[in-house]
Amino acid sequence: AQSVTQLDSHVSVSEGTPVLLRCNYSSSYSPSLFWYVQHPNKGLQLLLKYTSAATLVKGINGFEAEFKKSETSFHLTKPSAHMSDAAEYFCVVSSQAGTALIFGKGTTLSVSS
């Protein structure tokens, strides 16, 4: 069965410092992997998507993620946090059966000035 684990439920950074949100996945096949962001009281927005092309994926707003098969990880990074990055972030893996997406429990990113 596929699963995804977000290793931190809450991450706090200062504005201008790097962001690292950690995600490990479990899958018996080569999955598609996504990061979505949800700002308070908003819907989910796709940040980036990995589908077995380049292992380093660039997304919107300066975010990127690196697929590491040997470590079964798909960590999200950004070189310099901005106040507007404060939100909840979800790591998502595709399900082999049907069209389901399997969501991690989310990481809340706080950014202080």
Partner 1 sequence: DAGITQSPRHKVTETGTPVTLRCHQTENHRYMYWYRQDPGHGLRLIHYSYGVKDTDKGEVSDGYSVSRSKTEDFLLTLESATSSQTSVYFCAISERGTSALSTDTQYFGPGTRLTVL
In the complex, the smallest distance separating the C-beta of residue 16 from partner 1, rounded to whole angstroms, is 29
Stretch that binds partner 1, among 11-19, 59-67, 79-87, 101-109 (CB under 8 A): 101-109
Indicate whether 39 belongs to the interface with partner 1 (CB under 8 A): no
Which long-range contacts does 108-111 make (Cβ < 8 Å, 24+ apart)?
Answer: 108/9, 108/10, 108/11, 109/11, 109/12, 109/13, 109/19, 109/21, 109/81, 109/85, 110/10, 110/11, 110/12, 110/13, 110/86, 111/12, 111/13, 111/14, 111/15, 111/81, 111/82, 111/83, 111/85, 111/86
Query: Looking at 20, 54, 60, 100, which residue binds partner 1 (CB under 8 A)?
Result: 100
Q: CB 5 → partner 1: shortest distance, Å?
A: 11
Which among 17-25, 32-40, 65-73, 77-85 is the span making contact with partner 1, rule CB under 8 A?
Answer: 32-40
Return residues touching partner 1 (CB under 8 A): 31-32, 34, 36, 42-46, 49, 51-52, 90, 94-95, 98-101, 103-106
